[in-house]
């Protein structure tokens, strides 16, 4: 089971997407790709910890500009958070990620991008 840390939450989110939901909800815009994170309650349940243990980590993730909360939408990754989530998918679960997203889409979003200035 992943640790209770920011990295552990990203790893848990990926495992929920790939092994439980078998789906990833993404939105594409001119601003980038944003992925809907599992709810804090879902992550707490997955990690078998009380819900309130998760909340400080989400506050830190917001401070680090990895996620943003959108009213009535949920928690979405920022471009920085998307890169981090996709890195977990690429580095730890590439075959499963390609199976869920499709090989072409996964290859395209997992491809390294140039930093924008």
The total number of structural domains in the chain stands at: 1
CATH of the domain at 86: 1.10.10.10
**Is 13 contained in some domain?**
yes
**Is 114 contained in some domain?**
no
Give this prediction's pTM.
Answer: 0.91
The C-alpha atoms of residue 47 and residue 68 are separated, in whole angstroms, by: 21
**Is 14 contained in some domain?**
yes
Tens digits of pLDDT across the chain (117 residues): 566 899 999 999 999 999 999 999 999 999 999 999 999 999 999 999 999 999 999 999 999 999 999 888 899 999 999 999 999 999 999 999 999 999 999 999 998 766 544
Domain of residue 65 covers 6-108
Cα 31 from chain centroid (whole Å) = 17
**Is 113 contained in some domain?**
no
Alpha helices by DSSP H, the chain: 6-15, 40-47, 51-63, 79-92, 94-101, 103-110
């Amino acid at each position: 089971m992943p640790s209770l840390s920011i990295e552990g939450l990203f790893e848990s989110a990926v495992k929920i997407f790939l092994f439980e939901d078998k789906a990833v909800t993404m939105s594409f815009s001119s601003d980038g790709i944003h992925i809907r994170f599992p709810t804090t309650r879902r992550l707490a349940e997955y990690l078998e910890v009380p819900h309130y243990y998760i909340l400080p980590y989400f506050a830190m993730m917001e401070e680090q500009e990895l996620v943003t909360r959108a009213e009535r939408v949920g928690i979405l990754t920022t471009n920085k958070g998307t890169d981090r989530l996709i890195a977990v998918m690429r580095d730890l679960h590439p075959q499963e990620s390609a199976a869920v997203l499709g090989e072409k889409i996964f290859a395209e979003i997992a491809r390294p991008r140039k930093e924008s200035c």
